[in-house]
A = this chain, B = another copy of it.
Amino acid sequence: MNPTAQLLLPEVEDLIAHGRYAELREALHGVDPADVADTLAELSVKDVALAFRVLPRDDAAAAFAYLDPARQEKLLAALGDRQAADVLEAMSPDDRAHLLDELPEVVVRHVVSVLSPETRRVTQAILGYPAGTVGRLMTPGYVTVKPGWTVAEAMDHIRRHGKDAETINVVYVVDEEGKLVDDLRLRALLLADPVERIENLMNRSYVKLRATEDESEAVRLMTRYDRAVLPVVDSRGVLIGIVTSDDVADVAQRQATEEIHRLGGVEALDAPYMKTPLTSLVIKRGKWLAALFLGEMLTASAMTHYNSELEHAVVLGLFLPLIISSGGNSGGQATTLIIRALALQEVEIRDWTRVFWRELAGGLALGLFLALIGLVRILAWRWIGWGEAYGEHYVLVGLTVALALVGVVLWGSLMGSMLPFALRALKLDPAAISAPLVATLVDVTGLVIYFSVASIVLRGTLL
């Protein structure tokens, strides 16, 4: 709970307990809806329903949009149809669509039925676009003007129709068929001569989104063009909504969270960690853990194959975790860097050869660096007397470890960087690769590299 909500809570509890609703209304007036929601989140559903009945309709709707979906559902039931409809009608269309996305199907059908015909039409239009598209993010709260109007006519129109708009910082110029032809900043209108025609202010240069595009396109365009609002058109170019920066910021944050979860080897959680039920948390982690476990089982098979080497040279086992984890770590690094660069479009699929050469040079340098540390460690331990277990052929063992490290780190860097490109080339989502998956793949091949190097270097001595 944030400080404002903490200050408000005792007062609000007291006013509800004593039925002093007029004062409650007064106490919550002018408080930011996010803070009102935070305060109400601490109360029982019954008390929140009481508070919602006394709040002005717009304040109630604004606070409602900030509550979490489970609470929204309970509250709708507690409010009853008429008051629930009031709150829903006053919500912005995108917030309402977002709420309906979260509710069970049967509740949605009921909720939509209590809306006014106009609100129902707008809500269903937005719900008609698949989840994850720009259509779901958009809101119809924009103002349009016509090219033939004067600035004074446009300003008069904005004054009359701007009340329900999410923004009037930008107004949109549409032709007779409703097709978008330009965007104009309100500032340009304010500063223009009132008798000037709109068409003389136009430069016909604008950035737009299509309703069927993926919501990540909204994030990309808004970041690229530094806009706070973007217009949305249908397939014919007709303006049907706008997308605002607050909704896009939420999408960007959610995408970063998904990317982080998947890179960490967890199926992305749909809700905050603490609100994800334990069973769903275990399932989302268990799937990946089991997949990685099955992959890692190949190491046991590979090890079985090298069983006789291991029996002859138990010393090789000592450095096994060290070597395979180094390959996994370098592979994880490369995957992390490339997947993030692909997500930010800093790297495109056609860059794969340049990445390959970079990782070849970089992986070689990193491998040589670790090999040097490993070699010095083995020789030093032996010389100060801690490395008896390394046996009489400790120099050859050190050489085996060093050469294997160069191979494993180089191989890890190449696998980790090339796998995301391979998935992208196969039209699959590169983010489906996680760092632990690369580590697992590199573990198996790392084993093979290690024992192959050993069988060459140690032939005639230990093996």
Q: Is A84 an interface residue (CB 8 A)?
A: no
CA distance A224 to B443 in the complex (A): 43
Cβ B337 vs Cβ A269 within 8 A: yes
Cβ B337 vs Cβ A205 within 8 A: no
Q: Is A130 an interface residue (CB 8 A)?
A: no
Query: Which residues of chain A from 280 to 339 have any CB-CB distance to chain B below 8 Å in the complex?
Result: 281-282, 285-286, 288-290, 292-294, 296-297, 299-300, 303-304, 307, 310-311, 314, 317-322, 324-326, 328-330, 332-333, 335-338
Cβ B325 vs Cβ A439 within 8 A: yes
Which of A14-22, A47-55, A105-113, A346-354 lines the interface with chain B? Answer: A346-354
Cβ A253 vs Cβ B344 within 8 A: yes
Cβ B285 vs Cβ A330 within 8 A: yes
Q: What residues of B have a CB within 8 angstroms of the CB of A97 in the complex?
A: none
Q: What residues of B have a CB within 8 angstroms of the CB of A32 in the complex?
A: 205, 207, 225
Knowing A253-B344, A337-B266, say if A31 contacts B205 (CB, 8 Å): yes
Cβ A274 vs Cβ B223 within 8 A: no
Which of A71-79, A131-139, A163-171 lines the interface with chain B? Answer: A163-171
How many A residues, CB 8 Å from partner?
116
Which of A116-124, A173-181, A367-375, A422-430 lines the interface with chain B? Answer: A367-375
Cβ A289 vs Cβ B330 within 8 A: yes
Q: In the complex, which residue of chain B has the Cβ closest to the Cβ of A168? A: B187
Cβ A260 vs Cβ B260 within 8 A: yes
Which of A232-240, A243-251, A452-460 lines the interface with chain B? Answer: A243-251
Q: Closest CB of chain B to A413's CB: distance in Å?
A: 9
Knowing A225-B32, A336-B261, say if A293 contacts B389 (CB, 8 Å): no
CA distance A320 to B369 in the complex (A): 26
Cβ B260 vs Cβ A340 within 8 A: yes
Cβ B261 vs Cβ A249 within 8 A: no
Cβ B34 vs Cβ A292 within 8 A: no
Oligomeric state, in copies: 2
Cβ A290 vs Cβ B203 within 8 A: no
Knowing A274-B346, A322-B299, say if A261 contacts B158 (CB, 8 Å): no
Cβ A266 vs Cβ B333 within 8 A: yes
Among the listed B205, B244, B296, which residue makes an inter-chain contact with A30, where contact means beta carbons less than 8 Å apart?
Answer: B205
Q: Is A366 an interface residue (CB 8 A)?
A: yes
Q: What residues of B have a CB within 8 angstroms of the CB of A246 in the complex?
A: 222-223, 226-228, 245
CA distance A194 to B436 in the complex (A): 64
Knowing A274-B351, A330-B289, say if A336 contacts B34 (CB, 8 Å): no
Cβ A264 vs Cβ B321 within 8 A: no
Q: What residues of B have a CB within 8 angstroms of the CB of A274 in the complex?
A: 341, 346-347, 351, 354-355
Q: Closest CB of chain B to A298's CB: distance in Å?
A: 9
CA distance A30 to B289 in the complex (A): 53
Knowing A361-B278, A409-B289, say if A333 contacts B264 (CB, 8 Å): yes
Cβ A203 vs Cβ B322 within 8 A: no
Cβ B373 vs Cβ A294 within 8 A: yes
Q: What residues of B have a CB within 8 angstroms of the CB of A125 in the complex?
A: none
Q: What residues of B have a CB within 8 angstroms of the CB of A324 in the complex?
A: 321
Cβ A186 vs Cβ B205 within 8 A: no
Q: Closest CB of chain B to A260's CB: distance in Å?
A: 5
Cβ B264 vs Cβ A347 within 8 A: no
Instruction: Give 1 or 0 for each of A209-226: 1 = CB within 8 Å of chain B CB.
Output: 000000000000011111
Given contacts A260-B340, A325-B328, 14 further A-B contacts (CB under 8 A): A34-B226, A168-B190, A223-B253, A260-B336, A261-B337, A263-B336, A265-B329, A265-B435, A266-B333, A274-B351, A289-B369, A303-B320, A310-B317, A328-B436
25 inter-chain pairs at a CB distance below 8 angstroms, sorted by A residue, are A32-B205, A158-B190, A159-B191, A167-B169, A168-B190, A227-B246, A248-B249, A252-B252, A256-B259, A263-B263, A264-B337, A265-B333, A265-B336, A272-B344, A273-B338, A274-B354, A286-B366, A289-B333, A294-B373, A297-B377, A304-B389, A307-B389, A317-B317, A329-B436, A435-B436
Q: Which 3 A-B pairs have the closest CB atoms?
A: A264-B336, A256-B256, A226-B246
